[in-house]
Amino acid sequence: MAKYFDVHPDNPQPRSIHQVVEVIRGDGLIAYPTDSCFALGCRMGNKDGLDRIRSIRHLDDKHHFTLMCHDFAQLGQFVQINNSLFRAIKASTPGPFTFILPATKEVPRRLLHPKKKTVGVRITAHSTAQAILAELGEPLVSSTLLLPGELEPMTQGWEIKEALDHVVDAVVDSGECGTVPTTVIDLSDGVPEVLRVGAGDPERFSD
């Protein structure tokens, strides 16, 4: 059974955050809120966690996982950002954007797109997710919690606990989450390509 953490959306309780991070460090898989939708997340080195996310969501090996980063400095450790893109990315973070960029050697091979050697990165503005990332000290490998056959992600923590009780290790509930996923922008070729329009305004990345 998954542990259930009821966390204040604006002032997350440190004790609860610590317990959530202990689950992650113990190679657990969590469902947690972001500023777009609920997400599934685990440590970068947690191969079993990645396999479980793929299994829950019925994903193939071409799926771009997202590294949920605490801040821009951390994001810069895992992807290569050229000078012309730096300002636009910095101005869009934190926020509901996912950027696909060439990965650095810090990113495990299993997280890379098999052909492009790219990875998705983002910085969430959600207080609870930020608190988890600050204590964890490394990115969470994440994927939107959208179940196979469903058109929209689940929005309620109790609903997620009920549906995924035996396939995740913890559910973090900070109240209702949104249903609109991030805007995804592929910057891997140096020219912005909007792959999905979501919660973030893609205007600054338009030609």
Residue 135 pLDDT class (50, 70, 90 cuts): very high
- Whether the per-residue pLDDT at 61 is higher than 80: the answer is no
**What ranges do the domains of the chain cover?**
3-205
Q: Residue 36: name the closest of 124, 142, 130 by CA.
A: 124
Query: Residue 207 — very low, low, confident or very high, per pLDDT cuts 50/70/90?
Result: low
More confident residue, 199 or 206: 199
Give the mean model confidence (pLDDT) for residues 104-110.
Answer: 93
- The mean per-residue pLDDT over the stretch 94-102 comes to 96
Model confidence band, residue 144 (pLDDT cutoffs 50, 70, 90): very high
In tens, the pLDDT along 155-187 reads 999 999 999 999 999 999 999 888 999 999 999
Q: How far apart are CA 198 and CA 144, in angstroms?
A: 12
Structure tokens belonging to residue 175: 């109240």
The pLDDT, as a whole number, for residue 26 is 98
pLDDT above 90 covers a percentage of the chain that reads 82
| CATH fold label, 3-205 | DHBP synthase (3.90.870)
3-state secondary structure 72-100: HHHHHHHECCCHHHHHHHHHCCCCCEEEE
pLDDT value at residue 54: 94
